[in-house]
Amino acid sequence: MSAPSALAIEVKGLTKRYGGRAVVDHIDLAVPRGRILGFLGPNGSGKTTTIRMLCGLLTPDEGTGTCLGLDIRAEATEIKRHVGYMTQRFSLYEDLSIEENLHFIARVYAVPDRQRQVHDALKRLGLEERAKQLAGTLSGGWKQRLALAACLLHQPELLLLDEPTAGVDPKARREFWDQIHSLAAQGITVLVSTHYMDEAERCHRLAYIAYGKLLAQGPAEEVVRQSGLHTWLVTGDHLAALADELRARLGVDMVSAFGTALHASGTDRDRLAAAIAPFRDRAGTTWTEIAPGLEDAFIKFMRDAQDNLQ
């Protein structure tokens, strides 16, 4: 490989079409080494297709760029040797044990000193006591650990994790993210797609994609700023009926339920204030202006995105 660049991923105009429709539409990404990029967006937005182009599994129809300093078109085979890719669905052999699966993956990558590397992977991910257990009998959290161990066997410089925590309980998700931050601290770059806002907040940078287009990217606070939203928190009685009334008001762009409260948001602060003014003295409600959150921002981006299936 050539001398390391400060960027693990740098692509411009990345595009992939199927049936004449751009499922990834001229995306630019720049991810510094040793950082965690949260890749967010609804199902069918193009996240998985983007990940597969970055790791050399798909060839872009348009666009240029590098992954770990290697050209994503001309050096796709070499890229695969330095990337760990964890798919959405558990893709290891369920009729093999944890240890057998890891030995198989180690052979595929021709990992030197295979016995020691497998032992180290078992220890690192807390899998030693379950080494002989069949993979098909593991819970979602333990399957996740096994999949991550397999990704790390060949000591990749970049991890591409496609919704790795879907269907995993909160405790296992937290332990997984502790592992991810530990890996980033060791210099490994991580791109992880997720639907969970608490996980998005754990990332160094975010990129939000919808209908194939990149709508916002940057640190969490910058992504929220890019939404242009102003938000009021409403608590009290009869909030469902109040939400319907607020949605009918000009200046209120979004109303979303958050537990026992509402978030009423708009992009024009003055118009929003005027729109909610008649309701603020209503008995049994309390209104507080707050900073919008990531979920507010993502709902706004999704609402404004143009569906490319039309």
The pLDDT tens digits for 228-260 are 999 999 999 999 999 999 999 999 999 999 889
Identify whether the C-beta of residue 13 lies closer than 8 Å to the C-beta of residue 28.
Answer: yes
Expressed in percent and rounded to 5, the helix, strand and coil fractions of the chain are 35, 30, 35
Paired residues of 286 in beta bridges: 235
Residue 250 lies in a domain: yes
Q: Are residues 50 and 97 in the same domain?
A: yes
| Gap between the Cα atoms of 165 and 88, Å rounded | 9
Rounded to two decimals, what is the model's pTM? 0.87
Domain total of the chain: 2
> Count of CB atoms within 10 A of residue 65's CB?
22
Q: Are residues 120 and 243 in the same domain?
A: no
Choose between 288 and 2: higher pLDDT: 288
| Gap between the Cα atoms of 75 and 112, Å rounded | 23
Residue 120 lies in a domain: yes
Residue 301 lies in a domain: no
Q: Are residues 44 and 110 in the same domain?
A: yes
Residue 12 lies in a domain: yes
Residue 242 lies in a domain: yes
Q: Are residues 96 and 178 in the same domain?
A: yes
Q: Are residues 283 and 212 in the same domain?
A: no
Where residue 250 sits, what CATH number does that domain have? 3.30.70.920
Residue 180: domain span: 7-224
Three-state SS annotation for 263-275: EEEECCHHHHHHH
| Gap between the Cα atoms of 252 and 100, Å rounded | 57
Residue 96 lies in a domain: yes
Beta strands, E only, 108-225: 158-162, 189-193, 205-210, 213-218
Q: Are residues 123 and 159 in the same domain?
A: yes
- CA distances to 44, 242, 243, 299 from 279, in Å: 38, 9, 11, 23
Rounded average pLDDT over 117-136: 92
DSSP 215: E
pLDDT digits (tens, 9 = 90+) for 172-202: 888 889 999 999 999 999 999 988 888 999 9
Residue type at position 76: A
Q: Are residues 207 and 249 in the same domain?
A: no
Residue 1 lies in a domain: no
Q: Is the pLDDT of residue 280 over 90?
A: yes
Q: Are residues 19 and 99 in the same domain?
A: yes
> Count of CB atoms within 10 A of residue 218's CB?
14
| Gap between the Cα atoms of 165 and 203, Å rounded | 14
Q: Are residues 190 and 249 in the same domain?
A: no
**Helix boundaries (H) for the chain:** 47-54, 76-81, 98-108, 114-124, 140-152, 170-185, 197-200, 220-227, 239-247, 269-276, 294-304
Q: Are residues 266 and 121 in the same domain?
A: no
